[in-house]
Amino acid sequence: MHQSASNGSANGVFFDGIPHADLANAVRALSMDAVEAAKSGHPGLPLGMADVATVLFTRFLKFDAARPRWPDRDRFVLSAGHGSMLLYSLLHLTGHEDMPLEELKRFRQLGSRTAGHPEFGLAAGIEMTTGPLGQGIATAVGMALAERMLNARFGDDLVDHYTYVIASDGDLMEGVSHEAGSLAGHLDLSRLIVLWDDNRICIDGPTEMSFTDDTLARFRAYGWDVQTIDGHDAHQIATAIEYARTTDAPSLIACRTVIGYGAPTKAGTSASHGSPLGAAEVEGVRKALNWPHAPFEVPEPVRRAWRTAGRRWADAADAWEERLAMTGHELREAFRQAMDGSLPAEADAIIDRIKREASETQPSVATRQASGTVLDALVPAVPELLGGSADLTGSNNTKAKNVPIVRKGSYGGRYLHYGVREHGMAAAMNGLALHGGVIPFGGTFLTFSDYCRPSIRLSALMKQRVVYVMTHDSIGLGEDGPTHQPVEHMAALRCIPNLLVFRPADAVETAEVWQIALHQKARPSVLALTRQNLPTLRTVHQSENLSARGAYVLREATGERQVTLLATGSEVAIAVAARDLLEADGIGTAVVSMPSWELFEEQPADYRAGVLGSGVRVAVEAMVRFGWDRWTGAADGTPGAFVGMPGFGESGPYQELYRHFGITPEGVAAAARARL
């Protein structure tokens, strides 16, 4: 259906002397021109939500285009990332230095900052990578939580801002948005304001074909404040946002809009969603909007007004910097360190002490317990650490001793009960990390990493330091059976680029992998930890972090090495026992612990060759074989041996399960002998 600009978008509203309609239409025109030039993209959302975005960016959003990383800026998340040109047009018009007009003309082209969906790191003002629907709104929950936590720590003078989201129908259909919405309501995150593009159109057609929820009632039930407005009426938009800023709950504003607003034949239909409008339709939009300008042309008065909007908060940013400079030295330096993300000097000393104590006392403990010991020591020393668990606190050992809980209205805690919301937890942790000032870690069972996987993938894509503590990491969890026994999950996680996946063998390695994970500012980590107790294998203290090489020789062969046993986690102890059997028969055998394939792959070729050896190689892991042949194969292409899981597990005591599947010292030794 066609709707002209005269039907509500102007309403006599001006900014810097320019009518609202002209400002919004500049966004529309640039967006549809870029999509048309690329012959690819999603013009419907930018055309439909331009009025909402214009009101937000000119009247409410606190930012300074000249200082886009200002810590106390409002965060804006385009959860509906398919409408990326809306964001790119706004960044260009408001004067962000790295979004010149040339970038809009290069929309969706190789090497441009204007990727098909917004990508964090390509340009300032893109607060996160969006496109997988639901991720933006869920991640924004973490951003809003980070703001409240840092406000509790540093006060209103340094932290006092909002998180705004533009979300689509698809965002609210995705399950992760349900988890996140419930969590945000539970925590009363009143600084979170979601502007829902309620255009009632999805790719297949009208949403009534598949989505007839009473969405407002659902969010009310979560504890949100909800409003419904005409998304093309600037007065209503402004009034709704103004009110949302006064509530004591998160806000959902349903903005009734027309997708593809202004398009003669495609407005209000799915035809404007994900394809260029076409030359004739674009010309029709120009006529409907009374926008007679050439492609990518913005009249100077309109451009000037948008530039004014981009610097509207410059004085506020100056005042903030003055307040920071006048803050007491200790608090000021703590704030700077928190936002920089660096660890205090004593963190490494704490790890070294834990390693020394473990080597000396040689405990037999599960690595999940060893992880808890690390956290008991580290969390008090690193104020930025925020722990949590998806309702498995006692199992994951993610709560350090005596740390206060984050609760609604009380955000100074250091631990968060996420509830049974694995995906929402993972997305929120991304938001905490992206916001800055918080180093998030959270736990669940390794088998449930599948529930977290889309968010873990985004952690890696966005290069965020998020630590996923995944316990009960193998058939070693025993009686819970194959539904809870992760056999394919290590392989699935190891194939995600830029993700470190750790499976430590004992308490010493557990401390080391925590140290590595926390020093990674540009990549996330998964710590796969055991339920069952494991012996301490590193009995002589070494300050060097051996796990940082990814793999190392834990036990060298006596004499010439004929066999190398490669193992991770709980199976390293089995490999050590198998080595003893082989050595007793005069077979020179080394044991290599491989806590991180990714770090090992980054080592020099000569180091890797020395660790792997040239003889028979046998891999031992209570997982599926997938991926192991890259390490066990001989130079001539002959695959090595593998001792592990042939398929899913079984229910029973874990000791019996290891025997049942032949993952024993005797089984490993037999596999090696068979290759000699």
Amino acid symbol at 190? S
- Please confirm, yes or no, whether 422 is among the known catalytic residues: yes
Inter-residue contact 20 to 284 (CB < 8 Å): no
Inter-residue contact 262 to 268 (CB < 8 Å): no
CA separation for the pair 378, 399 (Å, rounded):
11
- Chain Cα centroid distance, residue 293: 41
Q: How many CB atoms lie within 10 A of CB 112?
A: 18
Which is the catalytic residue, given 36, 127, 384, 422?
422
Q: In degrees to the nearest 10, what's the CA dihedral of 215, 217, 222, 227?
A: 80
Pick from 130, 124, 137, 247: nearest CA to 188: 247
SS3 359: helix
Inter-residue contact 587 to 578 (CB < 8 Å): no
Question: What's the start-to-end Cα distance of the chain, in Å?
Answer: 76
SS3 57: helix
Pick from 124, 37, 139, 60: nearest CA to 88: 124
428: region left, alpha or beta (phi > 0 left; psi from -120 to 50 alpha): alpha
Q: How many CB atoms lie within 10 A of CB 476?
A: 23
Inter-residue contact 474 to 485 (CB < 8 Å): yes
Q: What are phi and psi of 616, to 5 degrees?
A: -70, 140
Inter-residue contact 604 to 570 (CB < 8 Å): no
SS3 536: coil
Inter-residue contact 182 to 153 (CB < 8 Å): no
CA separation for the pair 173, 176 (Å, rounded):
9
Q: In degrees to the nearest 10, what's the CA dihedral of 291, 297, 302, 305?
A: 150
Inter-residue contact 92 to 100 (CB < 8 Å): yes
Catalytic residue numbers?
A: 422
